Structure 1
Amino acid sequence: MIVVFFVAVLVCSLLLTGSLRRYAIARSLIDIPNERSSHLLPTPRGGGVAIVVSYLAALPLLALEGFAAWPSVISLVGAGTLIAMVGFLDDHGHIAARWRLLAHFSGAGWALCWLQVVPSVDVFGVVLDLGWVGYLLAAVYLVWLLNLYNFMDGIDGIASVEAVSVCIGACLVYWLSGENELVSTPLLLIAAVSGFLYWNFPPARIFMGDAGSGFLGLILGILSLQAALVSPHLIWVWLILLGVFIVDATFTLLRRFIRGDKIYEAHRSHAYQYASRHFKGHLPVTLAIATINTLWLLPIAICVGVFGLDGILGLVIAYFPLVFLAVKFNAGATEKSS
């Protein structure tokens, strides 16, 4: 029955995305290419709402059947709903950056309230209780993941493939380490995103929009904190699995900030955007990210989560070639200098 349930969520997401595509076309909710775009053809947007609806509607059913704890579900549903609503309104008009940021921290605050305690951090085998500082760091962490996911959702399929591959990796680590109680919520997210991915895989027939990308970033962050409450070293597993997005977005932001650019303005200077222009298409880059996640980051995450490799050491090993790729593909550079 649980298999049937997850298949039903996938089908629901698949059908709802198709309906949203027709709605977006009818209402002229279309992304028109401009000088800051990475796509060439006008494409409907807002399909990420299908992920949001199918995932959030199914979460309480998981709790009712005993596959997820109610505090975890309430944390995800409350924060996810707020962020998706703000993203949806921004997709249909414009919300000032300060109000979006306020909503982002409010969503993070809701999630942390239902977590009740902030996870301890395993640093070189020493478990540190960060106290109130941990709440501040956790809130910043959630808001940064939310926003970097928005930044990284710039070519066909990239945000969907990242979410699916990262959650598959996390579920595999949980299974191998015996933390089976953590599997259901990321597995449900795989089902919800996979239905949308059918429409979003290159060449995309609909885009995710801020409602979907911000939602995914926040949900993945909450899932990582919930895992760390069970076992502190699991936060390093998630940071490793999310490495491609974290390194590209953070490296690009820092370089633009140091140069004095307005970091909140739209641009196309991420490494993945330069790579898509270099390889003359989105598909090679999206597939490359899936390959990196599977063949490089996942084995290191397994070493940390299952075989006891120190989390910080694993993170450094995982990120080193990712930083090299960010430099190679001119992450954060102005286009004329690339």
Structure 2
Amino acid sequence: MFLILFFFTGFTIIAFISFLDDIYSLPSRYRLIFQFCGILLLLCQVYYSSPYSYWLFFFLSILSVGIVNAYNFMDGINGITGIYSLILIICLSYVNNFITTFIEEDFIITIILSVSVFLFFNFRKKAICFGGDVGSVGIAFLLVFFTGQLINTTYDWKYLFFFSIYGLDTIYTILFRLSKKQNIFEAHKLHFFQILVYQTGFSHLQVAAGYAISQLLLNIWIINYSASNPLFYLPILFLLVIMHFIRKKQGLAITIK
């Protein structure tokens, strides 16, 4: 019971600062301080009795905050965060039921139902409900928690690749902007999903569904193959090549405002 308080306190902290950011647009340094506090509490619960070193704990805190912010960055078109999250949660539920139990299934089902209700209002050409920072950061926090529980149970780090599509898009975009000497904290439209919508002409829902389906297929591969097999990384490399090819084809030497 004591450890459960770590999770709920961390979730409350990170949701509260995100809610304030939706209202007042807080400076990034303030958001990061609260996010690290929330993530540290989450990690204290997940890895409380684990044999991991403090250095690894430090690395995980940075990685987790990165995932949470990547989720926030990617929440830019109708339906994408909801349907992508639903796919991740369903995959985690499958692992929980058929491979190894790492958390109470009722908790996962509750989140699946919540995201499904949100999608009913958000996965539309003209959405009538939006998650905002508090929604995207909140669901990211939950997914980091579930994945952390899974990794702590199986000692298999391959499940981090459940975030591959968002991760590839975010990391590639950051590197691209750094190569152009841009401020990576300023607003932009250089994410791959934004290129598909604003340059290639796909609709919000088509891109959102494409991201979700791609991650689903990749998750099936991740679940069935070992990370020690070099072929495990082949689909991820393939996706990266496609992303790079489309960016080059769209002539992204010019920054989109």
| TM-score, length-scaled by structure 1 | 0.69
Is residue 118–residue 229 contact of structure 1 (8 Å, CA) maintained in 2? no
Match 1:279 to one of 190, 201, 204 = 201
Q: 1:333 to 1:251 in 2, by over 3 A?
A: farther
Distance 1:243 1:108 in 2: 20
Counterpart residue number, 2:142? 219
Match 2:219 to one of 276, 283, 298 = 298
Counterpart residue number, 1:264? 185
Amino acid paired to 2:136: S
Counterpart residue number, 2:8? 77
For structure 1, which segment, 148-157 or 190-199, has the greater mean C-alpha deviation from structure 2 after superposition?
A: 190-199
Counterpart residue number, 1:329? 246
Q: How does 1:75-224 map to 2 (within 5 A)?
A: 75-117=6-48, 130-179=52-101, 181=103, 183-203=105-125, 204-224=127-147
SS in 2 for 1:265: coil
* Structure 1 position 77, deviation (Å): 1.8
Amino acid paired to 1:162: Y
Counterpart residue number, 2:211? 289
TM-superposition CA deviations, 1:71-120 (whole Å, max 9, x none)? 6643432222111111111111121111111111111111122234386x
* Cα RMSD after superposing both structures: 2.4
Distance 1:313 1:268 in 2: 34
SS in 2 for 1:329: helix
Counterpart residue number, 1:230? 153
Is residue 174–residue 184 contact of structure 2 (8 Å, CA) maintained in 1? yes
* Structure 1 position 186, deviation (Å): 3.0
* Structure 1 position 293, deviation (Å): 2.2
Distance 1:195 1:335 in 2: 40
Distance 1:201 1:97 in 2: 29
Distance 1:322 1:182 in 2: 33
Distance 1:198 1:144 in 2: 28
Distance 1:111 1:143 in 2: 11
SS in 2 for 1:336: coil
Structure 2 residues without counterparts, runs of 5 or longer? none
TM-superposition CA deviations, 1:47-69 (whole Å, max 9, x none)? xxxxxxxxxxxxxxxxxxxxxxx
Amino acid paired to 1:336: I
SS in 1 for 2:247: coil
Amino acid paired to 1:243: S
Q: 1:264 to 1:312 in 2, by over 3 A?
A: farther
Is residue 255–residue 333 contact of structure 1 (8 Å, CA) maintained in 2? no
Distance 2:251 2:38 in 1: 32
Q: 1:72 to 1:311 in 2, by over 3 A?
A: farther
TM-superposition CA deviations, 1:210-248 (whole Å, max 9, x none)? 111111222211211111111111x312x2221111110
Give the fraction of aligned pairs with identical amino acids, expressed as a percent.
Answer: 24
> How many positions carry a matched residue from both structures?
253
Is residue 4–residue 45 contact of structure 2 (8 Å, CA) maintained in 1? no
Distance 1:241 1:254 in 2: 21
Q: 1:333 to 1:164 in 2, by over 3 A?
A: farther
